[in-house]
Structure 1
Amino acid sequence: VEFPTARTTVLEPSYIRGLSNEQDAVRQALHKPIGKPPLRSLVKKPQTVAVSVCDITRPMPTSTVLPVVLDALDHIPTEQIVIIIATGTHRTNTRDELVEMLGADVVDKYRIENHTAFDETTL
């Protein structure tokens, strides 16, 4: 499609500089949230914890953020933590995609479930 140059306006987005250290920002938010108690004090043994993360289709820095969240939950036994991949109506993620999204250490250490919206037994 061609448009006359004199009648065309290009709008550039306003770029916002990213955080200098994403992990420190997440760590601070979990340890000293505004007006709420820290995550660590909200989650007690023997609770099971579910952590929801985006699937491979979303540009989320999960491999950067998730380890900080899991560190804040280090008082909960690993077997009591499940990471749920929020696939919505997308297909499930492969192991290779999970490693890309979450990191091999997380994939090997934690239980991970791809949510399947069309399977009522998983709701």
Structure 2
Amino acid sequence: MKVKLKYGQADRELSISEKAVVSLLNPSTIPVIENVDEAFEKAMDSPLGGNSLETMDPPASIAIAVSDETRPTPTKLLLPLLLKRLYKAYPDLTPNQVTVVVGSGLHPPLDEEGMRRVVPESIASGCRVVVHDAIHSTMTDYGATSRQTPVVINKDFADADLKLIIGNIDPHQFVGFTGGAKGAVIGCRSQGAIEANHALMFDEKAHVANIEGNPVRLDIDEAGNMIGIPLVVNVVLDAS
């Protein structure tokens, strides 16, 4: 039996035994957003389960965690929109009060060229941009979750008055689904703390597309609450 699957920018054909029972699970087709600016503003006006920026006290500093190159998050599209909204919500805010932290997690930290690809100078608008290094970055220790995983986070992110995340949501082999606080709680966390969280993957509920009772996902969410992340901008890929 021949089965063709999408892989990267192309297709891969697999040969599978005729004895195997094969099911292909395809994502639902949803309309592509035609006007991203308008959709972004609408979402920011009424965020799910939280308050809009305008209802929060003006911060003295802001940190925005963004994905590295291993994720399909359209940072180049979303970051300028978020910055525009921040400057509108807080008229006295200046670019030097904003730090963009590229969350590498356990991936090798981006070099200067990679950082510019993720966050070009043209869209950073004078903001400070740093790349998280899970081994060498200076950290802030928030203690531990109820599952005894350390919450040790990049100091540049932790020190900000207002902490925000830009990321994407997709199925994950043991988190269930990515998104939410994961962009900072894993992306901007120390190596040992990430490994402690990932050690929870051996629980039977830690599997793809499940968040109910999933200890890895629940631990991430608890750590996010400890840090204090009032707003996350998440997007979802379509089938293409």
TM-score bracket relative to the smaller structure: 0.7 to 0.9
Shift of 1:106: 2.6
Identity %: 21
The equivalent residue for 2:181 is none
- Indicate yes or no: 2:124 matched with 1:110: no
1:31 maps to amino acid:
D
Which structure is higher in RCO with an 8 Å CA cutoff and minimum separation 6?
1
Structure-2-length-normalised TM-score: 0.44
Question: Higher strand proportion, which one?
Answer: 2
Q: Distance in 2 between matches of 1:120 and 1:111?
A: 15
- Which runs of no fewer than 5 residues in structure 2 stay unpaired? 1-13, 140-153, 155-240
Q: Cα gap change, 1:25/1:116 in structure 2, threshold over 3 Å: closer, same or farther?
A: same
Equivalent of 2:66 in 45, 53, 57: 53
Structure 1's consecutive aligned runs of 4 or more residues displaced over 6 angstroms after TM superposition are none
**Which secondary structure state, in structure 2, belongs to the residue aligned with residue 71 of structure 1?**
helix
Shift of 1:34: 4.5
Offset from partner CA, 1:60-111 (integer Å, 9 cap, x none): 0111111111011113111000001111111222333233223331346210
Q: Distance in 2 between matches of 1:27 and 1:63?
A: 16
The equivalent residue for 1:28 is 42
- Indicate yes or no: 2:24 matched with 1:11: yes
Equivalent of 1:82 in 88, 96, 99: 99
Shift of 1:5: 4.0
Give the aligned length.
122
Q: Distance in 2 between matches of 1:41 and 1:31?
A: 10
Structure-1-length-normalised TM-score: 0.78
- Indicate yes or no: 2:51 matched with 1:37: yes
Q: Distance in 2 between matches of 1:40 and 1:115?
A: 29
2:96 maps to amino acid:
E
Q: Say what the alpha-carbon RMSD is for the aligned residues.
A: 2.5
Shift of 1:31: 2.6
Are 1:51 and 1:83, in contact at CA under 8 Å, matched by a contact in 2? yes
Question: Higher helix proportion, which one?
Answer: 1
